[in-house]
């Protein structure tokens, strides 16, 4: 019995010691946090922003959290006790200090995120920088008026993910973006990055030529010079090597260059000759470097993979009314890389159902398991016209998914609806060539289940 009591006392004592240790840990963290923005025991003053504000700090805390601060305070040439930092805002500096002293990140708006990101980049505080970018990815207001300022801030700070988000928005909303006032204020570097996009929501390259001309006019106005053809060409000349003139037919090219003369007469003549006589050897020398890509940027012009599907009815009503169905397809690529852009989905409404009961909810997910990339698109379609034979809809992914040789990818199609008839895939394995790529699709087949697949084509480049 005495041994049992001693054992219990030992357990209680151990628990008390663990509790005391945890309490001390919390107290240490709290004590460090209490030093934030306090003169108590501070040994360095940062003079931040303009007009300047003074921030008392503690070298050991900053040095322990940042390689830059460690070098500043404990390197061969240590900084003095007062340090001027006019390029960092007080708001960004406070967010950074709060993180260094307490591990807490408090970001309330886009401005806070950018200011704190600049401070964290300057002092190489990677976790805070990543948190700022993640905040912007989730909360930034992205529209035709804000996308260029967001992109240029992201470019300045090397926020690659935010840059990608902005470029994808521009790609999918090019028509609207090119007509916005904010486009006229975009920088040359931003325009160059836009012109490097391979896909855009445009009908033809004519829209890009017009947008560049209008941008050039705006630059003339801002610089207080005459909006002459020569001056506009001077502002836009560096972009011409990215304009896909060769993706246009002769008539459209002649018409658009007659209206917006980005090229002078000799350049225009040489280009028109190149387009009209592509096989001739006696083509006049082009006086400028032009883009040799003849593929149109329009999403509607990208390559299509035809899926072997057909409408079948074998007496089973599941061919008609679909409560819920999910189909998975494994994707592999050989040869050159392939980028999946979207799909063409299709279904047939059943005439005996009322219009309000003929609908299909469609979720399309593409993932590259090897590269850990995932993208999706969702849509709800209704067959409101009684005599519609087939509903066909183009659906573009939120993010394009690159598949390279050796990668393992997966397509998942999830549907539910009523009053509709879906196609079925004829083959559970099939391959097709897309340029120099060969894509192989392997359907996941479950016992006694049909391979319902309301996708006619997969769009890719």
For residue 447, name the pLDDT band (cuts at 50, 70, 90): low
Q: Is residue 347 part of a domain?
A: yes
pLDDT at 80: 77
For residue 275, name the pLDDT band (cuts at 50, 70, 90): confident
Is there a contact between 363 and 414 (Cβ–Cβ < 8 Å)? yes
Task: Name the more confident of 40 and 422.
Answer: 422
pLDDT digit string (tens) for 209-242? 999 999 999 999 999 999 999 999 999 989 988 9
Q: Is pLDDT above 80 for 112?
A: yes
pLDDT digit string (tens) for 34-59? 667 677 788 889 999 888 899 998 99
Maximum mean pLDDT: which of 114-118, 258-262, 373-377, 406-410: 114-118
Alpha-carbon gap, residue 372 to 88, rounded angstroms: 36
pLDDT at 3: 53
Q: How many CA atoms lie within 13 A of 454 on its CB side?
A: 34
For residue 170, name the pLDDT band (cuts at 50, 70, 90): very high
pLDDT at 235: 93
The domain boundary residue, chosen from 85, 114, 139: 139
CA 299 to chain centre: 16
Closest alpha carbon to 458 in 432, 427, 429: 432
For residue 16, name the pLDDT band (cuts at 50, 70, 90): very low
pLDDT at 198: 84
Q: Is pLDDT above 70 for 425?
A: yes
Q: Is residue 451 part of a domain?
A: yes
Maximum mean pLDDT: which of 220-234, 301-315, 369-383: 220-234
Is there a contact between 73 and 63 (Cβ–Cβ < 8 Å)? yes
Q: Is residue 322 part of a domain?
A: yes
For residue 385, name the pLDDT band (cuts at 50, 70, 90): low
Q: Is pLDDT above 90 for 330?
A: yes
The three-point CA angle 58-61-63 to 5° equals 100
Query: What is the distance in angstroms between the CA of the first residue and the CA of the last residue of the chain?
Result: 80
Q: Is pLDDT above 60 for 25?
A: no
Residue 235: count other Cβ atoms within 10 Å of its Cβ. 19
For residue 303, name the pLDDT band (cuts at 50, 70, 90): confident
pLDDT at 14: 46
Helix/strand/coil (H/E/C) assignment for every residue in the chain = CHHHHHHHHHHHHHHHHHHHHHHHHHHHHHHHHHCCCCCCCCCEEEEECCCCEEEEECHHHHHHHCHHHHHHHHCCCCCCCEEEECCCCHHHHHHHHHHHHHCCCCCCCHHHHHHHHHHHHHCCCHHHHHHHHHHHHHHCCCCCCCHHHHHHHHHHHCCHHHHHHHHHHHHHCHHHHHCCHHHHCCCHHHHHHHHCCCCECCCCCHHHHHHHHHHHHHHHHHCCCCCCHHHHHHHHHHHHHHCCHHHCCHHHHHHHHHHCCCCCHHHHHHHHHHHHCCCCCCCCCCCCCCCCCCCCCEHHHCEEEECCEECCCCCCHHHCCCCCEEEEEEEEEEECCEEEEEEEEEEEECCCCCHHHCEEEEEEEEEECCCCEEEEEEEEEECCCCCCCCEEEEEEEEEEEEECCCCCEEEEEEEEEECEECCEECCCEEEEEECCEEEEEEECCCCCCCCECCEEEEEEC
Q: Is pLDDT above 80 for 62?
A: yes
The CATH number covering residue 381 comes to 2.60.120
Q: Is residue 217 part of a domain?
A: no
Q: Is residue 230 part of a domain?
A: no
pLDDT at 355: 65
State if pTM tops 0.75: no
- Alpha-carbon distance values, 286 to 75, 278, 290, 293, 455 (Å): 57, 13, 8, 16, 45
**Range with the poorest average pLDDT among 241-245, 287-291, 302-306:** 287-291
Dihedral over Cα of 295, 301, 173, 411: its sign: negative
Alpha-carbon gap, residue 206 to 215, rounded angstroms: 14
The domain boundary residue, chosen from 139, 154, 183: 139
Q: Is residue 402 part of a domain?
A: no
Span 11-36, mean pLDDT? 54
Span 269-293, mean pLDDT? 69
Maximum mean pLDDT: which of 13-27, 218-232, 265-279, 287-301: 218-232
As for how many domains the chain has, the answer is: 2
Q: Is pLDDT above 50 for 133?
A: yes
For residue 350, name the pLDDT band (cuts at 50, 70, 90): confident
pLDDT at 11: 41
For residue 436, name the pLDDT band (cuts at 50, 70, 90): confident
pLDDT at 24: 47
Q: Is residue 41 part of a domain?
A: yes
Q: Is residue 170 part of a domain?
A: no
Span 94-98, mean pLDDT? 94
Is there a contact between 190 and 239 (Cβ–Cβ < 8 Å)? no
The CATH number covering residue 90 comes to 3.30.710.10
Task: Name the more confident of 318 and 297.
Answer: 297
pLDDT at 278: 62
For residue 148, name the pLDDT band (cuts at 50, 70, 90): very high
Q: Is pLDDT above 50 for 268?
A: yes
pLDDT at 8: 44
Q: Is pLDDT above 60 for 320?
A: no
The domain boundary residue, chosen from 111, 139, 167: 139
For 263, phi and psi rounded to 5 degrees? -110, 150
Task: Name the more confident of 229 and 10.
Answer: 229
| Average pLDDT value over all residues in the chain | 84
Task: Name the more confident of 88 and 25.
Answer: 88
Q: Is pLDDT above 90 for 96?
A: yes
Span 249-270, mean pLDDT? 86
Alpha-carbon gap, residue 374 to 398, rounded angstroms: 10
% of the chain with per-residue pLDDT over 90: 39
Q: What domain range includes position 99?
A: 25-139
pLDDT at 77: 75
């Amino acid at each position: 019995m005495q041994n049992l009591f001693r054992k219990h006392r030992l357990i209680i004592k151990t628990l008390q010691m663990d509790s005391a240790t945890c309490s001390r840990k919390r107290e240490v963290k709290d004590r460090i946090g209490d030093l934030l923005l306090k003169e108590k025991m501070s040994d360095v003053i940062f003079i931040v922003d303009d007009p300047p504000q003074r921030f008392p700090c503690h070298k050991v805390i900053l040095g322990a959290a940042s390689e830059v601060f460690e070098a500043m305070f404990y390197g061969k040439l240590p900084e003095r006790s007062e340090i001027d930092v006019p390029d960092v805002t007080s708001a960004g500096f406070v967010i950074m200090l709060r993180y260094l002293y307490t591990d807490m990140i408090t970001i309330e708006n886009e401005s806070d995120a950018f200011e704190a990101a600049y401070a964290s980049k300057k002092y190489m505080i990677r976790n805070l920088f990543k948190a700022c970018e993640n905040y912007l990815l989730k909360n930034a207001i992205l529209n035709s008026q804000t996308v260029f300022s967001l992109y240029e801030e992201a470019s300045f700070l090397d926020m690659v993910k935010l840059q990608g988000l902005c470029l994808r928005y521009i790609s999918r909303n090019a028509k609207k973006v090119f007509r916005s006032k904010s486009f006229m204020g975009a920088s040359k570097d931003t325009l160059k990055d836009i012109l490097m996009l391979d896909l855009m929501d445009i009908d033809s390259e004519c829209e890009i030529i017009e947008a560049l001309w209008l941008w050039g006019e705006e630059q003339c106005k801002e610089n207080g010079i005459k909006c002459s053809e020569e001056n506009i060409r001077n502002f836009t000349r560096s972009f011409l090597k990215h304009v896909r003139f060769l993706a246009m037919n002769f008539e459209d090219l002649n018409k658009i260059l007659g209206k917006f003369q980005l090229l002078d007469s000799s350049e225009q003549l040489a280009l028109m000759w190149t387009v009209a006589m592509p096989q001739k050897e006696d083509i006049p020398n082009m006086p400028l470097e032009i883009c040799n890509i003849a593929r149109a940027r329009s999403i509607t012009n990208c390559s299509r993979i035809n899926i072997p599907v057909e409408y079948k009815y074998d007496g089973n009503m599941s061919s008609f009314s679909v409560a819920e169905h999910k189909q998975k397809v494994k994707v592999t690529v050989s040869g050159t890389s392939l980028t999946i852009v979207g799909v063409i989905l299709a279904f047939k409404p059943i005439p005996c159902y009322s219009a309000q009961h003929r609908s299909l909810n469609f979720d399309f997910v593409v993932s590259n398991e090897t590269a850990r990339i995932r993208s999706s698109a969702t849509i709800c379609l209704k067959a409101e016209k009684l005599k519609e034979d087939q509903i066909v809809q183009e659906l573009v992914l939120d993010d394009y998914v690159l598949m390279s040789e050796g990668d393992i990818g997966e397509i998942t199609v999830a549907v539910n609806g009523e009053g509709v008839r879906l196609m079925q895939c004829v083959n559970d394995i099939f391959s097709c060539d897309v340029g120099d790529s060969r894509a192989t699709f392997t359907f996941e087949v479950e016992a006694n289940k049909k391979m319902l697949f309301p996708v006619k084509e997969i769009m890719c480049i």
